[in-house]
Amino acid sequence: MAEFDYDLFVIGAGSGGVRASRIAASHGARVAVAEEFRVGGTCVIRGCVPKKLLVYGSHFAHSLHDAAQYGWTIEGATFDWATLRDFVASDVDRLERAYTSTLNTNNVEHFAERAVVAGPNTVRLASGREISAKFILIAVGAWPVMPEIVGAEHCITSNEVFHLPELPRRVVIQGAGYIAMEFAGIFNALGSDVTVVNRSDVILRGYDHDLTARLQPIMEARGVKFGFNRPIREVQKLADGSLLVHAGEGDPIPADVVLVATGRRPKTDGLGLENAGITLGKGGEIPVDAFSKTACDSIYAVGDVTDRVQLTPIAIREGHAFADTVFGGKPRSTHYDAIPSAVFSQPPIASVGLTEADARAQLGEVRVYTSDFRPMQNMFATQAERGFYKLVVDAGTDKVVGIHMIGPDAPEILQAAAIAVKAGLTKAQFDDTIALHPSMAEELVLMR
């Protein structure tokens, strides 16, 4: 008989856990996975996928508003939140079935219950059953942080925002990261009165300053209000069911929904990692080495639960690399340079590589090229929003080390451009490339 019940037991069936399970099984491993909520994880169930669908739905508001400039007459246009909300939920159901099918097709056993670590080679299910495994992989992701404020029970996080019974008339959002900016754009476009409050005066910390400096006034022109240096102190529920938000020193802000988007924390509470001698980091994260191994030789961790980059494609890469390393005889790690990222704000921004500030700090002498233009599709818009692209170049090597963009379809354009940064292409090679005209993307090869 086998020494262990399974070769691999995965705790968490999100993007990283499912990829690791599938690849390990393809290498011949006996694999089981436990998921306490729904197969698919944060991105599929309550994150980037349903959020992007809401973004698409909200874009129709802008298109309908500008339709008359194109010669269209659209009378009686109305919006029904329940229709959009329920369509998004149905697509989440479809994706969960697809992820579950992937596990089944690869003969990965699935336990629909919580599992915790009981020892270096043992997990304990919520039902009390203990299961042994040669290796354990932790892939439980992260969870929204709710700050300690009076009336926090009246607030929601990005977990609950997809299930609102009706479109709120007034929304207050605390935070200025990508989740806050994305939902501010969604609710604003759908017709809600949106106020963003933040404890500092900076939005999208970590993104190039030229992008964030352009995004904020565009959002303000669209009607989003910002309250900087105004962290929420108290959320008061009134007799009529509405809310009153006390933020900073300003006047209270009336609201129907208060969305707290102040970051995410690794979901390690009560996971039992101390039973395997694993000490968590100060933020609750699991420290790992380059091959995702923890302080315990039989336990690995991938994705948002670790001390690395919290992005779904990174979790997938880490899960695949882990399975190839441990079960495929092909040791490899994940590289974290030139990672493309996007914020699906309205308009969206996209970046890859070093910001101008980081490039100057790391490289010394840099050259910066910019293009400030009005996208052709905005010519008919009532608001003359401009696009902005920026190349950051290492002056010593001529390599393009950063690309930063704001404007329509910026994330779709950046993916291809990210290949160039990853490959170490030079500004001269950008210049040698013929422009695709007329397009917004051509601006990338026309900067002089």
Binding residues for FAD: 52, 304
- Alpha-carbon gap, residue 283 to 268, rounded angstroms: 10
First to last CA, the chain: 69
Dmax of the chain from CA atoms? 75
> What letter would DSSP give residue 150?
B
62: helix, coil or strand? helix
CA 399, distance to chain mean position in Å, is 28
Q: How many angstroms separate the Cα of 217 from the Cα of each of 211, 226, 280, 300, 431?
A: 11, 10, 40, 44, 32
Single-letter residue type at 366:
V
Query: Are 165 and 141 spatial neighbours (Cβ–Cβ below 8 Å)?
Result: no
Choosing from 154, 335, 404, 437, the catalytic residue is 437
Binding-site residues from annotation for NAD(+)? 175-182, 263
Which distant-in-sequence residues (6+ apart) come within 8 Å of 19 by Cβ? 315, 316, 319, 320, 323
Q: Residue 437 catalytic?
A: yes
Structure tokens at 325: 């390393």
Sequence-separated contacts (24+) of 1-4 with Cβ below 8 Å:
2/30, 3/132, 3/134, 4/121, 4/132, 4/133, 4/134
Query: Are 95 and 106 spatial neighbours (Cβ–Cβ below 8 Å)?
Result: no
Structure tokens at 156: 């929601």
Q: Which residues are designated catalytic?
A: 437
